[in-house]
Structure 1
Amino acid sequence: MKSEDLYRAIGAADDALLERSERNKYRRKNHWWMGTVAAVLALVIVGGIFLHPGSSPMVTSAYAICEAVYPEMAPYPNEMSDDFEQQYEDWRASVQAQHQPEGYADGLEPFFAASIPQFLTGAEGENRAYSPLNVYLALGMLAELTDGNSRQQILDLLGVDSIEQLRTQASAVWNGQYRNDGATTSILASSLWLNEDITFVPETMQQLSDTYYASAFQGEMGSDGFNQALQDWINAQTGGLLKEQMQDITLDADTVLALATTIYYQAKWDSTFSEENTSPETFHALSGDVTCDFLHGSSMGNYYWGDQFGAVSRRLENDGGTMWFLLPDEGVSVEELLQDPQAIDFLLSGETWENSQYLTIHLALPKFDISSQMELREGLQALGVTDVFDPDQSDFTPMTQDLSGIYVSQAKHGVRVAVDEEGVTAAAYTVMPMNGAGAPPEEEIDFTLDRPFLFAITSDDGLPLFVGTVYQPVT
């Protein structure tokens, strides 16, 4: 991925109008061990799910002008500890403190239901994945940077009547997803990367900090130091999973602004697959049969079904979330399933789906490691967000008064998801430069994912972190 393909200057600045911002004026300290990425007047989203718990490296930066402060959580206790019960109570209390009132995410379903098929269809047999929640928060931040019709189009897509309503809901989403307890990590991070010659609106910066826990960094665009800080932050945030893809991401000297949001999530299967049960089997890909390793595990659980699919789920430990697997009925394609409102409704309903039966499920799941990359611009335009891509129509005055003609020139989204015996590992980024089967038997069922299928990874309260299609496992 070439940096010139990702980041293009948007608009020209009159140097006589530009004043250097005071670097420490709105500074807020935090333990910044999770970072984010950036682009030109660009929106970059990076998300990840990581299997093994562990702290990310501390990312410090001489370029920080505002750093967010995250909530503190009690660590998950050591089961051998003498005061395990008290530690467990403290941990549970800190988890409960992050829970949001029932219905806090109401109204997001139309955005998820519209964007999931929009960005997953048309893959023509290629694996594809998308992070709905990550894109939601990025668009929310983009709304803060815009005004007029540019903002209204984003509000309409996200299903809110006002920027104030969006702020309330986005803040609840952020806090509702936050976990950092040593057992499960789920953090939605955001940042702005600013040209040191550009002045910014402090009220907007403060709003982004308050609502999205956004940090801001300002430096010499195109310099080795600023680019290195960006790359270090990306790698820290994604656990190095996308290191090879991200190493060429740099900001050009004429970059105006970079906006970045990320998801970092790590958890293990609640019940791991035994390596002894892994065996090579046939996967019936559209291009022909391939042999790959299949994971095997049997457990009691709910089997779900719709008119054109069957589905099962696999829990991640310590209330860390769920991975869902939707298998189209014989003769039904993944593309058809994505266009089936019932299937999308199931993805957003999960455990509340009416057609279900509790039984023994013998799951056979191919180990897979898939990567996909897509351009979101046309999809967002189809969903009604058009003005931010048009220099003659866009309005970014809430962020800076120094420039005009600012617009989003690209919207790139890339995701990697891998599944093995221990759990799920995934990462995603998005760049927007601004320059089954019917009712089951009574007792048990064999659920074998040996042909193209749909998957979703949801948080403990059911919000979609990643959704994707597997046409052919890659190991």
Structure 2
Amino acid sequence: MRKRKVLTGLCLLMGLTACAQGSEIQSGEPQAIVHKQPKVKELSAQERKEVLTKIDTGMVEAQNDFGLRLHQALSNSPEYKSGNLIISPYSITQALALAYNGTAGDTAAEMSDMLGWKGMNDADINEGNRQLRSLLENGGGVVLNVANSVWHQQGLEMKKAYVEAVKDGYGVEVRETDLKQDEAMNAINQWVNDKTSGKIPTIYDEPPGGVAVLINAIYFKGGWMDEFDPANTIDEEFTLSDGTTQKVPMMKREGQYSYKEGESWQAIRIPYGDGRMYMLVILPKESSSIDELQQQLWKEASVWKDDYSYETVRLGLPKFKAEQSFELPDALKDLGMVKAFDAAEADFSEMAVGGEKFWIDKVKHKTVVDVSEKGTVAAAITAVGIVSGASPPADPIVMNVDRPFFFAIEDRDTGAWLFMGSVLRP
């Protein structure tokens, strides 16, 4: 099937959104922003059941697998060896899906292989992503909003099939502007700031140029089903990978949790809202290390999917806020996405009219995760630039997360990992 999919100077921005969707963007200088709490749309149990039957579980598993492979590739970079490494596999996958809809030939084949979509046609991929978004955005007692927009250079004629595909599958809004001007940069930054509720205030410090900027924004805000009492938060030592320690605010709570442990690790699911979404925390035991745990995760993550029991746990969890920026081209090339970055070989012929040569120049990813006694707020931006040419025990289990650990924010019904990462320095 012919691929319908990007343009030149195209940037895909994926970020966690905190404002109402569908707001109109005006050209010129940005106006003052009033952040409004989005309404959580609720599906009935029967409606959720019907949507779940349409979810392609293979695509969800492919997304999580891609996220772990990217996590591994980034961990090999000396730049991230001594710090946290937190990404949004959902954000990156959805951003790349928007670019994928503009590819053809070998470029499309490489991207589909990397993303785990080999053998699927465009319509099924886009419908699968649409259904997953519909389920994630509705209910669960949390706020999860997704917004998409395409800003293209004045005079650029985008292919009708591409526009229809991204509108139908991803709800894209299309804007025409002069990407070489400050007014366009200001308007785009306003949109990003608005859609992330100020968590990520800007994406550009100069006009983006090129022929298009395609933006996808996502926002997650989840309150714990059972909040931590701030009065119980105390400063404790957190042991770093090198054996040194630092003081961190440790939240404390004893309660009933889904819990599992192995010879070298403990795992817990801390629910948000009505329990449909939760934070999965995997802690290496003192006899092990975060490096050993990551090797297990990269080899077989399904170990942490099932067979949890309901236990009384005396939990200590660091209160932390982590902000990171990544340059992804090298890691994506390592995973097999090579031609899209090659000026001579990239094929983005299904995005715009005119046959101009496009290829991907930059891929930036930003994440913000803020964990407190009340819950979690998380945001992410992915920018892809395209240029031309059981019964509780008598005594509670103790799980004190006082050393480097892995976590994921997961949707219970689909298993989709919205965020994942290793926290080495809370």
TM-score when normalising by structure 1: 0.77
Mapped to 1, the partners of 2:211 and 2:39 lie a distance apart of 40
Q: Write the letter of the residue equivalent to 1:186.
A: L
Q: Write the letter of the residue equivalent to 2:328.
A: L
Mapped to 2, the partners of 1:41 and 1:263 lie a distance apart of 19
Instruction: Identify the residue that residue 109 of structure 1 maps to in structure 2.
Output: 61
- The one of 283, 294, 312 equivalent to 1:338 is 294
1:424, distance to aligned residue in structure 2 (A)? 0.6
- Conserved? CA contact 1:415–1:426, under 8 Å: yes
Mapped to 2, the partners of 1:239 and 1:320 lie a distance apart of 24
Mapped to 2, the partners of 1:334 and 1:166 lie a distance apart of 35
1:118 and 2:70 correspond: yes
- Conserved? CA contact 1:108–1:158, under 8 Å: no
Which aligned pairs between 1:291-440 and structure 2 lie closer than 5 A? 291-319=247-275, 321-341=277-297, 344-346=300-302, 350=305, 353-354=306-307, 356-402=308-354, 404-435=356-387
Mapped to 2, the partners of 1:272 and 1:343 lie a distance apart of 34
1:322, distance to aligned residue in structure 2 (A)? 0.4
Mapped to 2, the partners of 1:451 and 1:217 lie a distance apart of 47
Mapped to 1, the partners of 2:314 and 2:238 lie a distance apart of 17
Q: What secondary structure, in the 3-state scheme, does the structure 2 residue paired with 1:451 have?
A: coil
- Conserved? CA contact 2:89–2:418, under 8 Å: yes
Mapped to 2, the partners of 1:209 and 1:464 lie a distance apart of 24
Moved more, 330-339 or 201-210: 330-339
- Conserved? CA contact 1:108–1:159, under 8 Å: no
Mapped to 1, the partners of 2:340 and 2:203 lie a distance apart of 28
1:68-91 per-residue CA deviation (whole Å, 9 max, x = no partner) reads xxxxx9967xxxxxxxxxxxxx86
- Conserved? CA contact 1:42–1:257, under 8 Å: yes
Instruction: Identify the residue that residue 61 of structure 1 maps to in structure 2.
Output: 25
Q: Write the letter of the residue equivalent to 2:109.
A: Q
Q: What secondary structure, in the 3-state scheme, does the structure 1 residue paired with 2:57 have?
A: coil
Q: What secondary structure, in the 3-state scheme, does the structure 2 residue paired with 1:197 have?
A: coil
Q: Write the letter of the residue equivalent to 2:136.
A: Q
1:223, distance to aligned residue in structure 2 (A)? 2.3
Mapped to 1, the partners of 2:379 and 2:39 lie a distance apart of 26
- The one of 221, 230, 238 equivalent to 1:275 is 230
1:263 and 2:218 correspond: yes
1:189, distance to aligned residue in structure 2 (A)? 2.2
Alpha carbons of structure 1 residues 98 and 139: separation in structure 2 relative to 1, 3 Å: farther
Instruction: Identify the residue that residue 31 of structure 2 maps to in structure 1.
Output: none
Instruction: Identify the residue that residue 171 of structure 2 maps to in structure 1.
Output: 213
- Conserved? CA contact 1:359–1:442, under 8 Å: no
Alpha carbons of structure 1 residues 344 and 100: separation in structure 2 relative to 1, 3 Å: same
Alpha carbons of structure 1 residues 114 and 60: separation in structure 2 relative to 1, 3 Å: closer
Instruction: Identify the residue that residue 179 of structure 1 maps to in structure 2.
Output: 138
Q: Structure 1 stretches of 5 or more lacking a match?
A: 1-9, 12-39, 64-72, 77-89
- The one of 139, 156, 161 equivalent to 1:203 is 161
Instruction: Identify the residue that residue 44 of structure 1 maps to in structure 2.
Output: 13
Mapped to 2, the partners of 1:400 and 1:304 lie a distance apart of 51
Alpha carbons of structure 1 residues 401 and 342: separation in structure 2 relative to 1, 3 Å: closer
1:403, distance to aligned residue in structure 2 (A)? 5.2
Q: What secondary structure, in the 3-state scheme, does the structure 2 residue paired with 1:273 have?
A: coil
Which aligned pairs between 1:10-89 and structure 2 lie closer than 5 A? 40-47=9-16, 56=20, 59-62=23-26
Q: Write the letter of the residue equivalent to 1:109.
A: E
Instruction: Identify the residue that residue 159 of structure 1 maps to in structure 2.
Output: 116
1:319, distance to aligned residue in structure 2 (A)? 4.1
Q: What secondary structure, in the 3-state scheme, does the structure 1 residue paired with 2:359 have?
A: coil
Q: What secondary structure, in the 3-state scheme, does the structure 1 residue paired with 2:24 have?
A: coil
Identical pairs, percent: 23
- Conserved? CA contact 1:74–1:91, under 8 Å: no
Mapped to 2, the partners of 1:199 and 1:377 lie a distance apart of 27
1:285 and 2:244 correspond: no
Equivalent residues, number: 398
Q: What secondary structure, in the 3-state scheme, does the structure 1 residue paired with 2:360 have?
A: coil
Moved more, 307-316 or 332-341: 332-341
Mapped to 2, the partners of 1:339 and 1:467 lie a distance apart of 15
Which aligned pairs between 1:459-470 and structure 2 lie closer than 5 A? 459-461=411-413, 462-470=415-423
Q: What secondary structure, in the 3-state scheme, does the structure 2 residue paired with 1:409 have?
A: strand
Q: Structure 2 stretches of 5 or more lacking a match?
A: 1-6, 28-37
Instruction: Identify the residue that residue 453 of structure 1 maps to in structure 2.
Output: 405
1:270-328 per-residue CA deviation (whole Å, 9 max, x = no partner) reads 11000111111111113521111110011112221234321111100134510011101
- Conserved? CA contact 2:278–2:411, under 8 Å: yes
Mapped to 2, the partners of 1:361 and 1:296 lie a distance apart of 10
Alpha carbons of structure 1 residues 209 and 91: separation in structure 2 relative to 1, 3 Å: closer
Alpha carbons of structure 1 residues 112 and 93: separation in structure 2 relative to 1, 3 Å: closer
Instruction: Identify the residue that residue 30 of structure 2 maps to in structure 1.
Output: none
Mapped to 2, the partners of 1:148 and 1:278 lie a distance apart of 55
1:104, distance to aligned residue in structure 2 (A)? 2.3
Mapped to 1, the partners of 2:70 and 2:45 lie a distance apart of 39
1:144 and 2:101 correspond: yes
Alpha carbons of structure 1 residues 93 and 444: separation in structure 2 relative to 1, 3 Å: closer
- Conserved? CA contact 1:310–1:328, under 8 Å: yes
1:411, distance to aligned residue in structure 2 (A)? 1.2
Mapped to 1, the partners of 2:402 and 2:236 lie a distance apart of 8
Q: Write the letter of the residue equivalent to 1:446.
A: V
Mapped to 1, the partners of 2:251 and 2:300 lie a distance apart of 26
1:227 and 2:185 correspond: yes
